[in-house]
Amino acid sequence: MFKVNDNYQKLPGSYLFSTVGRKTNAFMAAHPEKKIIRLSIGDVTQPIAPAIIEAMHRAVDEMGKAETFHGYAPELGYEFLRSAIAKQDYRARGCQIEEDEIFVSDGAKSDSANIQELFAAENRIAVCDPVYPVYVDSNVMAGRTGVYDPSTERWSNVIYMPCVMENGFVPQLPEETPDLIYLCLPNNPTGTTIKKHQLQEWVDYANRTGAVIIYDAAYEAYISQEDVAHSIYECDGAKTCAIELKSFSKNAGFTGLRLGYAVVPKELKCGEVSLNAMWARRHGTKFNGAPYIVQRAGEAVYSEEGRAQLKKQVAYYMENAAVIREGLKAAGYTVFGGVDAPYIWMKTPGNMTSWEFFDELLEHANVVGTPGSGFGPSGEGYFRLTAFGSHENTRAALERIKSM
Amino acid sequence: MFKVNDNYQKLPGSYLFSTVGRKTNAFMAAHPEKKIIRLSIGDVTQPIAPAIIEAMHRAVDEMGKAETFHGYAPELGYEFLRSAIAKQDYRARGCQIEEDEIFVSDGAKSDSANIQELFAAENRIAVCDPVYPVYVDSNVMAGRTGVYDPSTERWSNVIYMPCVMENGFVPQLPEETPDLIYLCLPNNPTGTTIKKHQLQEWVDYANRTGAVIIYDAAYEAYISQEDVAHSIYECDGAKTCAIELKSFSKNAGFTGLRLGYAVVPKELKCGEVSLNAMWARRHGTKFNGAPYIVQRAGEAVYSEEGRAQLKKQVAYYMENAAVIREGLKAAGYTVFGGVDAPYIWMKTPGNMTSWEFFDELLEHANVVGTPGSGFGPSGEGYFRLTAFGSHENTRAALERIKSM
């Protein structure tokens, strides 16, 4: 008689966005005359840039002719895309990353969930709190997290690194030594980041203790400050301790196109065992490549036209971020993030809980945001707004909040 | 200090197609004047059908406009695609499969590799021999297969079901009881299949012993005989014991577009635990949907135009299958498959090994095929040719083989 993987049953329900949706729908049903503005989920709203649309049309046409049809893709991704990535995302920044250290995937969510497979079941993970839930949940499914305590909302075998106002949202080196450290910088959900010299401390710590950093750089395109690293490989020694995950979802609006990549350096080893070779084996066994059309779309992201168009797209969202940040400040709120990331993280006023503020905002401003407590216990008392709306909606939302 | 997942180190090298490639390249370098014909790998060669190309162009245009842009897809896949699948692949055949039992994915390879995650580590798998390597390798990575014996090419904790000429390539109910049974029908690599009443025996066996059948139906579109099931759910009781995996790669040429789906019936349970709910949780945690454009392409597969065009495409490849099958028979070879599948499985002549025949065919006919031994020890003495070439190449290859 077959048995199921019991680890799945340990997962607590995933209620954050479903509760946001349920409460929003209930409000809309009760107040059909109100126009709701959603600044809640992290999905983009601007259309795919023209240079990328053109590249996809060309690729679709190629797929329709026998002489230019493309079947199974090369296992690591097409060379045209991997070489553009290696050149522009890395070598142009002085990071010596080679094409065969880059693995094209169907997105950073898949990669960030799958990467833990390379590690032993007894390895211990460290995560920031609040955090993107996939890091922890994928390790729960693999049996790596121990027992869940609903009263603390924490797993017994996970090392938590609180990121709160008091420490400037900068994770501190943990007292217990982890084997795997998940860092998302610039951060989702807090919208904050750390300086390059602070990231260097993490790299040094990982090399000193023999830990691997899983570095999620999905929001790299939003960095505006000069002394913030765009890649962890800008830090000395990162190639012996870090895997970097990148997404095309936020810099190019590919949430519905699905493209990402992982960098697994050849220097990253456990004894003689190469993690690059292991990830190549996983890629070859459990994945069959991103679609040709989408890889050509990815290539267009790096074209001169594509870059110019996407620079404007990022600027569009960052204008929203400034509107939200400055608007909230003017209204007397304490606000973080939104400088190097498309997320604004605010302190809820007057010791309200995250969900109390959610209700308040929905009722009085008809604006939907995301309760910080949904990302972890240290998110309690905070609230996330995203810059991915339209200018019109974002401005209107802030006017309403200001007049609350 | 981090440790790696040691199971990866147990995997023997994956040399089949790399050795095929190396030997082919060496021959070409030595004989630059010879024109090689490849009937080796299972990749399609016909372009994507016009109705699907049109659907993709429309979807690309939608992605370029704010009012029709699509971001993150629904977790199980778009309703337009799941309802087309439920209606045409299942309810039209009398199988009561609902939309929420269908999970759209980036292909059957990913699904067939990932599905084992739902099961306990101590569960024991049964596979046909020869077999598609992903079933076993994904279980090796999960630590489910015991110790590899290079002399027998077998894992200590895997139940093998030899499929050879002597049993008509029909797997026999195993003596030891497995928890998970992988069946690929019509079969890759043998190109053979079983009748519906024989499949019903497997369903009854699984229900009787409490096993789950992972049913890979990637080649279903090639079935030509009347008494062969197109879905395992045509068998009574399959919804309490079977997961079905489907691909768009072979019926619609999507090898480079990446689309598939898994059916996990709600009746499939371990005690109170629903595998449907578990797979939904995995989908939501570790995957972010197939691209909108590709899901629209999938929808076009089910349109009237699309179906007519794809019927011709399948017939095109099956004409190749007939040419190979009849040509080999006329040349005196013993031949199987090619009636309900795009693969022809031949006995090597005169007790040659699979690799000896590979060399012979390459040298004297300049035709590349796949040695059967690469799919498992019971494939020794067999050889696979695929029907996925062009008519011209396929005919030319057979003329050369006949005059060998």
Query: Which whole-number Å values give the CA distances from B351 to A254, B98, B123, B324, B348, in the listed order?
Result: 54, 50, 38, 21, 7
* B170–chain A Cβ distance below 8 A for any pair: no
Asked if the Cβ–Cβ distance from B210 to A120 is below 8 Å, we say no
Determine contact, residues B128/B184, Cβ cutoff 8 Å.
yes
User: In chain B, whose CA is at the least distance from the CA of A3?
Assistant: B120
pLDDT, tens only, B70-112: 999 998 999 999 999 999 999 999 999 999 999 999 999 999 9
What residues of chain A lie within 8 A of the CB of B110, using their CB? 286-288
Distance from CA of B30 to the nearest CA of A (A): 26
CA atoms of A299 and A106, how far apart (whole Å): 14
CA atoms of A3 and A192, how far apart (whole Å): 43
Extract the runs of DSSP E, i.e. beta strands, from B178-221. Answer: 180-184, 212-216
Asked if the Cβ–Cβ distance from A63 to B48 is below 8 Å, we say yes
Q: What is the DSSP string of A128-187?
A: EES--HHHHHHHHHTT-S--EETTTTEETTEEEEE--GGGTTPPPPPSSPPSEEEEESS-
Of B66, B72, B281, Cβ closest to residue A8? B281
* B40–chain A Cβ distance below 8 A for any pair: no
* B332–chain A Cβ distance below 8 A for any pair: no
Q: What is the DSSP string of B19-38?
A: HHHHHHHHHHHH-TTS--EE
Asked if the Cβ–Cβ distance from B273 to A45 is below 8 Å, we say no
Distance from the first to the final alpha carbon of chain B: 60
User: In chain B, whose CA is at the least distance from the CA of A137?
Assistant: B285
Determine contact, residues A373/A354, Cβ cutoff 8 Å.
yes
Beta carbons within 10 angstroms of residue B6's beta carbon: 12
CA atoms of A219 and A391, how far apart (whole Å): 20
Of B64, B107, B275, Cβ closest to residue A288? B107
What residues of chain B lie within 8 A of the CB of A2, using their CB? 119-120, 123, 179-180, 210-212, 270
Determine contact, residues A153/A379, Cβ cutoff 8 Å.
no
CA dihedral B56, B57, B59, B61 (to 10 degrees): 160
Identify the residue whose tokens are 């195993």: B174
What residues of chain B lie within 8 A of the CB of A133, using their CB? 285
Which pLDDT score, from 0 to 100, does residue A15 have? 78
Asked if the Cβ–Cβ distance from A71 to B256 is below 8 Å, we say yes
> Which positions 206-225 of A are in contact with B (Cβ < 8 Å)?
209-212
CA dihedral B329, B332, B336, B338 (to 10 degrees): -30
Asked if the Cβ–Cβ distance from B256 to A61 is below 8 Å, we say no
Q: What number is the average pLDDT over the span B152-181?
A: 97
CA atoms of A384 and A346, how far apart (whole Å): 6
Which pLDDT score, from 0 to 100, does residue B14 have? 79
User: In chain B, whose CA is at the least distance from the CA of A61?
Assistant: B53
Query: B328 CB contacts (<8 Å, ≥6 apart)?
Result: B335, B344, B346, B385, B398, B401
Identify the residue whose tokens are 């036209």: A305
* B242–chain A Cβ distance below 8 A for any pair: no
φ, ψ at B313 (rounded to 5°): -65, -45
* B5–chain A Cβ distance below 8 A for any pair: yes
Which pLDDT score, from 0 to 100, does residue A42 have? 83
Rg (alpha carbons) of chain A, rounded to whole number? 21
* B46–chain A Cβ distance below 8 A for any pair: yes
Chain B interface, best mutation among A176, A213, A288, A313, by max B CB count within 10 A: A288
Chain A interface, best mutation among B4, B110, B287, by max A CB count within 10 A: B4
Q: Which two tokens stand for residue A33?
A: 């005359």
Which pLDDT score, from 0 to 100, does residue B17 have? 85
Q: Are strands A148-149 and A154-155 parallel, antiparallel or unpaired?
A: antiparallel
* β-bridge partners, A222: none
Asked if the Cβ–Cβ distance from A3 to B122 is below 8 Å, we say yes
Asked if the Cβ–Cβ distance from A69 to B256 is below 8 Å, we say yes
* A73–chain B Cβ distance below 8 A for any pair: yes
Query: B189 CB contacts (<8 Å, ≥6 apart)?
Result: B130, B132, B343, B345, B370, B372, B375, B379, B384
CA atoms of A149 and B391, how far apart (whole Å): 64
Residue B270, SS3? strand
Q: Which two tokens stand for residue B344?
A: 């022809």
What residues of chain A lie within 8 A of the CB of B342, using their CB? none
Residue B13 has pLDDT above 90, yes or no: no
Query: A312 CB contacts (<8 Å, ≥6 apart)?
Result: none
Helices A391-402 and A304-330, packing angle to 10 deg: 10
Q: Report the candidate in B235, B86, B231, B179 with the shortest Cα–Cα distance to residue A2.
A: B179
pLDDT, tens only, A239-261: 999 999 999 999 999 999 999 99
* B180–chain A Cβ distance below 8 A for any pair: yes
Q: Report the candidate in A348, A330, A327, A349 with the shortest Cα–Cα distance to residue A338.
A: A327
CA atoms of B185 and B230, how far apart (whole Å): 9
CA atoms of A319 and A323, how far apart (whole Å): 6
Distance from CA of A298 to the nearest CA of B (A): 13
* A61–chain B Cβ distance below 8 A for any pair: yes
Residue B172 has pLDDT above 90, yes or no: yes
Q: Report the candidate in A63, A132, A50, A121 with the shortest Cα–Cα distance to residue A301.
A: A50
Which pLDDT score, from 0 to 100, does residue A41 have? 82
CA atoms of B290 and B111, how far apart (whole Å): 13
* B316–chain A Cβ distance below 8 A for any pair: no
Determine contact, residues B28/B34, Cβ cutoff 8 Å.
yes
Element housing B273 (H / E)? strand B273-274
Q: Report the candidate in A338, A68, A364 with the shortest Cα–Cα distance to residue A349.
A: A364
Q: What is the DSSP string of A288-300?
A: ----HHHHHHHHH
Looking at residue B241, the DSSP 8-state letter turns out to be T
Distance from CA of B218 to the nearest CA of A (A): 15
Beta carbons within 10 angstroms of residue B205's beta carbon: 17
Instruction: Please tell me the total number of residues recorded for chain B in this structure.
Output: 404
Query: A355 CB contacts (<8 Å, ≥6 apart)?
Result: A371, A373
Average pLDDT, chain B: 97
Which pLDDT score, from 0 to 100, does residue A340 have? 98
Query: B184 CB contacts (<8 Å, ≥6 apart)?
Result: B128, B131, B132, B215, B216, B218, B219
Predicted confidence pLDDT, tens digits, chain A (404 residues): 999 999 999 999 877 888 999 999 999 999 999 999 999 988 999 999 999 999 999 999 999 999 999 999 998 999 999 999 999 999 999 999 999 999 999 999 999 999 999 999 999 999 999 999 999 999 999 999 999 999 999 999 999 999 999 999 999 999 999 999 999 999 999 999 999 999 999 999 999 999 999 999 999 999 999 999 999 999 999 999 999 999 999 999 999 999 999 999 999 999 999 999 999 999 999 999 999 999 999 999 999 999 999 999 999 999 999 999 999 999 999 999 999 999 999 999 999 999 999 999 999 999 999 999 999 999 999 999 999 999 999 999 999 999 98
Residue B230, SS3? coil
Of B2, B46, B138, Cβ closest to residue A66? B46
User: In chain A, whose CA is at the least distance from the CA of B6?
Assistant: A120
Interface contacts (A, B; CB < 8 Å): 239
Q: What number is the average pLDDT over the span B169-173?
A: 97
CA atoms of B391 and B394, how far apart (whole Å): 5
Q: Which two tokens stand for residue B201?
A: 């025996």
Q: What number is the average pLDDT over the span B236-262?
A: 98
pLDDT, tens only, B26-42: 999 999 999 999 999 88
User: In chain B, whose CA is at the least distance from the CA of A284?
Assistant: B134
φ, ψ at B399 (rounded to 5°): -60, -40
Asked if the Cβ–Cβ distance from A258 to B122 is below 8 Å, we say no
Distance from CA of B368 to the nearest CA of A (A): 18
Instruction: Please tell me the total number of residues recorded for chain A in this structure.
Output: 404
User: In chain A, whose CA is at the least distance from the CA of B291?
Assistant: A257
* A308–chain B Cβ distance below 8 A for any pair: no
Chain B interface, best mutation among A258, A264, A390, A391, by max B CB count within 10 A: A258
